[in-house]
């Protein structure tokens, strides 16, 4: 039979582990939410500025999940002068290693 102190210590460790897991899950959810928001913002800006985009271009944008690349792509979407130029830059960005 385990002592009361040991049981209490074990429960505290378990509770702390649960708390850490929840915190990590919340943080991961925030990052995923920010990624999806950035991807959708890029698509929306391109559509408003340059017209409809292809499904393949939309899929390519959704394939990016690195904050730095998404930030660069957002600036490009706001400043690029043509859909073709955006697509070219997007393809190059996807090929570029992280």
- Which of 11, 7, 31, 9 minimizes the C-alpha distance to 19? 11
State the pTM of this model. Answer: 0.79
Q: What is the pLDDT of residue 28?
A: 87
Say whether 74 sits in a helix, a strand or coil: helix
What pLDDT does residue 8 have? 65
Mean pLDDT of the region 25-33: 88
Q: Which residue has the higher pLDDT, 62 or 11?
A: 62
């Amino acid at each position: 039979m385990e002592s009361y102190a040991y049981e209490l210590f074990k429960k505290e460790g378990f509770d702390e582990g649960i708390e850490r897991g929840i915190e990590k899950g919340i943080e991961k959810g925030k990052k995923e939410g920010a990624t999806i928001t950035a991807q959708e913002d890029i698509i929306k800006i391109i559509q408003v500025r340059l017209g409809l985009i292809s499904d393949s271009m939309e899929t390519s944008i959704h394939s990016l999940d690195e904050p730095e690349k998404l930030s660069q792509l957002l600036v490009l979407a706001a400043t690029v002068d043509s859909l073709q130029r955006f697509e070219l830059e997007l393809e190059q960005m996807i090929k570029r290693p992280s």
